[in-house]
Structure 1
Amino acid sequence: MPTPDRTSLDAIVLAACELLEHDGVAGLTMNAVAHRVGVRPPSLYKRVESRDQLIRLVAEATLTELAARLDAATSPRQLANSFRAFGHERPAAFQLVMAPGAGIPVAGIEFGVAASASILRVAGELAGEAHALEAARTLTAWAAGFVGMELNGAFQLGGNVDDAWQFGVTHIVAAISMP
């Protein structure tokens, strides 16, 4: 008689997401996830074939969560603030999907498309549909760069970083808005 399943793919991905935040990508191992969900490592391979697949599943779950948060935004400022809040709440996951680094598996394109939908919608409202993609890329690049610098402690010149964020959002929105 086969042994009953002791864990689910959802539980595995959740455990992997938690490990990512606690131990970073280097600590995201099959053994660590198996231990966290209470199974032996060989049992984990029944659900996830490799560490690369595990990292990809974490990236996909991250983009799914980010998409849901951004979908709730009703204004450009709220969208940007939701993006930043996500980065602060899930810094390792944010960096995994925004700047994965060489050799790190990435999410399937459909997850990136879903996470980009709200940004494209807002960018289209600001810049017009003909320039939505360019405006979305500008907004995303600025916000991801700013949040990445925050997470890495790169703002060392003093001043209020929250004020700088608000200044940036105001001016990026103005810059990509149609006259």
Structure 2
Amino acid sequence: MVYPSKLSRERVVGAALSLIQEQGADSLGMRAVALRLSVRPASLYKHVIDLAGLQALLAEHAAGQLLAAIDVAIARAPRAAGLESQKMPMLFMANEYLRFAREQPALYAMLTTPGGLLTSGPSPSEATAAVPQATAPAIPQTARDALSKRLMQVVGELTGPADDAEAAVALWAFLHGFITLERAGMFGPNSPKGGFTRGVRAMAAGLRRPASGGHPAIVEPVP
């Protein structure tokens, strides 16, 4: 007799990952994951606290994949004196971020749309009152914090401070905004191909600290 493999958190996450990669992020659901594993939905709650908890684990996986790819890209960036070379780590990182979002749309959605793609499914209480509940996964650092830290490190090479959160937010907003607009088809089929690179280069030039030191000049918005 062939017995089913022992269920574990890793197997649940793996099944969820293959599900969203094959069918898209909006396919995620406890019933769908259970069907893929040939178990009852109630069995999943022994390993993940609920659907939101499963999405959080997928987001952590996505962050790890993206951060690893960014680190490889930054390591390839040339290091030399001069403004153009100073821009290279940011440009390499931005290109890798865009590549990941294009090639892994479901994972990117899990990372950037917390709670927004959860489909309906039985709650633990609806599934069975007798199922022991899993504890929430202990995550020492959230996916958002990990990405924010890496972005601050990259922009810090230009702006000076290692914790320049404002510059990191500006860069992140540009990256995600471009990806969102592109995915929505807002640029059209004949959009200019160099818009992304030009935007990153312009941001790098604008964020670079002045030769005299200190922060770049801030232009206050006109009321």
Q: TM-score per shorter chain, which class?
A: 0.7 to 0.9
Gaps of 5+ in 1: none
Structure 1 distance, partners of 2:50, 2:5, is: 18
More helix by share: 1
Give the partner amino acid of 1:82. E
CA RMSD, aligned part only? 2.6
When residues 49 and 100 of structure 1 are mapped into structure 2, their CA distance, relative to the original with a 3 A threshold, is closer
Name the counterpart of 1:22.
22
Given candidates 155, 163, 166, the residue that maps to 2:197 is 166
Aligned ranges for residues 1-179 of structure 1 at < 5 Å?
6-72=6-72, 73-74=74-75, 75-100=89-114, 110-129=142-161, 132-156=164-188, 158-161=190-193, 163-179=194-210
Report the CA distance between 1:5 and its aligned residue: 5.7
Number of positions where the alignment pairs a residue of Structure 1 with one of Structure 2? 174
Structure 1 distance, partners of 2:44, 2:203, is: 45
Q: Which has the higher contact order (CA 8 A, sep 6+)?
A: 2
Report the CA distance between 1:122 and its aligned residue: 0.9
Structure 2 distance, partners of 1:5, 1:130, is: 47
Report the CA distance between 1:120 and its aligned residue: 1.0
Report the CA distance between 1:130 and its aligned residue: 6.7
Give SS of 1:155's match. Answer: coil
Asked if the contact 1:6/1:39 (under 8 Å) is kept, the reply is: no
Gaps of 5+ in 2: 76-88, 119-136, 211-223
Bigger Rg, which one: 2
When residues 101 and 41 of structure 1 are mapped into structure 2, their CA distance, relative to the original with a 3 A threshold, is closer
* TM-score, length-scaled by structure 2: 0.68
Report the CA distance between 1:58 and its aligned residue: 1.1
Give SS of 2:110's match. Answer: helix
Identical pairs, percent: 33
Structure 2 distance, partners of 1:16, 1:154, is: 30
Report the CA distance between 1:49 and its aligned residue: 2.7
